[in-house]
Chains A and B, each alone.
Chain A
């Protein structure tokens, strides 16, 4: 009797989805923070992966099989991430797309590597993710600090032709590391000018008037700013920068100009120059069909335009799916080797070229803020 019922259910399901009735679905796992402070960001990335999967399923699935998503919450805590990683392995997922916080990624990497599960890092930026030997087949979509520093240094030296540069640096591994990388790039570019001044502050600071007064009297051509406190510290810094009436160009490190900065500091942001690797409404991305169709679907499903991190999630899924299609394999090594050092066509980033170490070669857009209130940007042509 039970068997008959089971058979009936199976038949009914088979009739409902005839295309995928033959084989088990392919399982894609995502591990991002879905709760706590980074929860909304992690949900956005997860939504983007889900959308990219839906688009693939509508187009007939992958290798003739349906793709299903298993999503888990790492709570921005490495210990929780490791538990979730073990659960993913137990559920026998074919690939895991993960990583908002670098420490969580670094903790999960060896777990997946030991279990031979392919693991693609979407957002976490630490250099150790690719250089550490805990995952020799690592793949990462977001840009690395080294590339970020190079594009900023190039803008300051070649486009702005600055002679006198100053740093306003967040005094931690992120800020000091970025400054060191920019200074190394200056050397490579044979920068003839001088670094006149370095002013430092703590991540939690909201009062920068002492540092800004010192910078004003030094009067450099450009001030390179690292500040990852995008909801309080950076907007305050931008406001005080305008109040102090500095004439120097405000050059923000890659990825610091997030929506909260525009929301809080508004017009004070006008004139700031920075760079990032994805904008749904700026070229070249506004001319990439995969990007425009993704943007339209994302807006329809979630009511907002996708930001960079959403694009990173979608790109991670697309890169993996293209590599699986090309190799007709789900094996970790085969798929990873089809990505590392290769170019994958047809992603939201257009043609995605990966370096041999698994890092996506980013394409930066250097931009200037035109209207801070509406977060309107304009691309700055590069020399």
Chain B
């Protein structure tokens, strides 16, 4: 089930830590290694933000086994909170981030409670309906921007008491996006080993066992859904500062398809999966673009093909080859722990 983890746990912990630190340092310097141009910074910042956006969906999809079509709502909530509070009330980045998390968590508690009994198809439908309704509200409600949206979002200001970090250019925003991505990765890594993460998986894979162990599946489902919301929300929060404009387009299917495809492309329950998926998709759109119509056809086809033929993603596909080889040798993989 967990190839990355099982292989790395066999190596020495010190070596592993050094490897992780080296990877983090290289990743942080990546825009400079790619030439340090404005486009390198803006593309990598976008990838980092979109990847964080995808991790919210990833938790729900990988650990609850449910497809949330409503995460564009949390994404847009982050954007609208940052835009409205910074433009109209001049609040700094910490306040807008706190507001984003508070709104996302309370909205997720409400939406999660409503959808507690629903599963699979109905769950997806209800979350989608929530996103559609909130899109219509955002589009028609002038007080929060209306169909034109909100312009003139100031540079991201993060006061630290003794000094204020200001992210006005893409270069300044990269460290913030990078830290947000690292925090998200750290959070997900911890979640995977946490009690909630493991029980969620049990509820998904073997609900009867979970119930017999005294676990309340509804509580677990609600908890996972609620913690997924502020992750996607914070990505939207940073996106508002990066783009300096927020409009109802944040509810668009462009982001929804991006979230779902990035998560399933590499494979579920793989820590770096959504990040790599996002990187591949953005690189295709920006470097190997075949024009708008073809890009959409490709994105849709990839999503469909992956779901139909390799529900376990690209990693699962490689795993199948490996399994075949092992089978020839007469052995059997014992991956479950």
Interface residues of A (CB under 8 A from B): 33-36, 39, 73, 75, 77-80, 82-83, 86-87, 89-90, 102-103, 106-107, 109-111, 114-115, 126-128, 132-134, 172-174
A33 — which chain B residues lie within 8 A by C-beta? 292
Give 26 pairs: A residue, B residue, CB < 8 Å, sorted on A: A35-B291, A75-B292, A77-B254, A79-B255, A80-B292, A83-B285, A90-B39, A103-B148, A103-B248, A103-B249, A106-B149, A106-B151, A107-B243, A107-B249, A109-B151, A109-B245, A110-B244, A110-B245, A115-B38, A128-B149, A128-B151, A132-B151, A134-B244, A172-B140, A173-B142, A174-B147
Asked whether A79 lies within 8 Å of B292 as measured between CB atoms, the reply is no
**Residues of chain B with a CB closer than 8 A to A106's CB:** 148-149, 151, 245, 247
Q: Give B131-144 as 1s and 0s: 1 = Cβ < 8 Å from A's Cβ atoms.
A: 00000000110100
A79-B255, A173-B146 given as contacts; is B37 within 8 A of A90 (CB)? yes
For the complex, what is the distance from the CA of A36 to the CA of B146, rounded to whole Å?
23
B43 at the interface (CB under 8 A from A): yes
Interface of B is mostly: helix
B46 to chain A, nearest CB (A): 7
A236–B11 CA distance with the chains assembled, in angstroms:
71
Q: Are A86 and B42 neighbours in the complex by a CB distance under 8 Å?
A: yes
A107–B83 alpha-carbon span in the complex (Å): 13
Q: Is the interface of A mostly helix, strand, loop or mixed?
A: helix
Q: Name the residue of chain B whose CB is nearest to the CB of A103.
A: B247
- Quick check: B285 and A107 within 8 Å, CB to CB? no
List B contacts of A87 (CB < 8 A). Answer: 39, 286
Interchain CB contact under 8 A, A172 and B151 = no
Which of B46, B148, B285 has the most chain A CB atoms inside 10 A of its CB?
A: B148
Interface residues of B (CB under 8 A from A): 37-39, 42-43, 46, 139-140, 142, 146-149, 151-152, 168-169, 243-245, 247-249, 252, 254-255, 285-286, 291-293, 295-296
- Give which listed residue, B140, B247, B254, contacts A107 with CB less than 8 A: B247
A residues within 8 A CB of B38?
86, 89-90, 115
Question: Judging by beta carbons under 8 Å apart, are B245 and A78 in contact?
Answer: yes
Instruction: List chain B residues, Cβ under 8 A from A89.
Output: 38-39
Q: A79-B249, A86-B39 are in contact. Are A103 and B291 (CB under 8 A)?
A: no
- Which B residues are CB-close (under 8 A) to A80? 254, 285, 292
- Are A103 and B140 in touch, CB under 8 angstroms? no
A365→B250 CA distance, assembly (Å):
37
Task: Name 20 extra pairs, CB < 8 A, besides A34-B292, A134-B152.
Answer: A35-B291, A73-B292, A78-B245, A79-B249, A80-B254, A83-B43, A86-B38, A86-B39, A102-B148, A103-B245, A103-B249, A106-B149, A106-B245, A107-B243, A107-B247, A109-B151, A114-B168, A128-B151, A134-B245, A172-B140
* A114-B169 contact, Cβ under 8 Å, with A75-B292, A80-B254: yes
Q: Are A107 and B245 in contact (CB under 8 A)?
A: yes
B139, B151, B249: the one contacting A77 at CB < 8 Å is B249
Tell whether, in the assembled complex, residue B293 and residue A36 are in contact, meaning their CB atoms are under 8 Å apart. yes
| Cross-chain contact A172 with B139 (CB below 8 angstroms) | yes
Tell me whether B152 and A132 are in contact (CB under 8 A): yes
A126 to B142 CA separation, bound complex (whole angstroms): 13
Shortest beta-carbon distance from A123 to chain B in Å:
15
Assembly CA distance A109 to B243 (angstroms): 10
Roughly how many angstroms separate A90 CA and B37 CA in the complex, as a whole number? 8
A83 to B295, CA, bound (A): 14
Quick one: which of B42, B245, B252 has the most chain A CB within 10 A? B245
Nearest-CB residue, chain B, relative to A33: B292
**Closest CB of chain B to A29's CB: distance in Å?**
14
- Is the Cβ of A78 less than 8 Å from the Cβ of B169? no
Complex formed: what's the CA distance from A102 to B148 in Å? 7
Q: Provide the bound-state CA to CA distance between A342 and B38, in Å.
A: 34
User: Given the complex of chains A and B, what is the CA–CA distance between A335 and B117 in angstroms?
Assistant: 62
Q: Which residue of A lies closest to B253 (CB)?
A: A77
The chain A residue sitting closest to B141, CB to CB, is: A173
By a CB distance below 8 angstroms, the chain B residues around A83 are 43, 46, 285-286
Q: Give A35 to B38 CA distance when docked, in angstroms.
A: 27
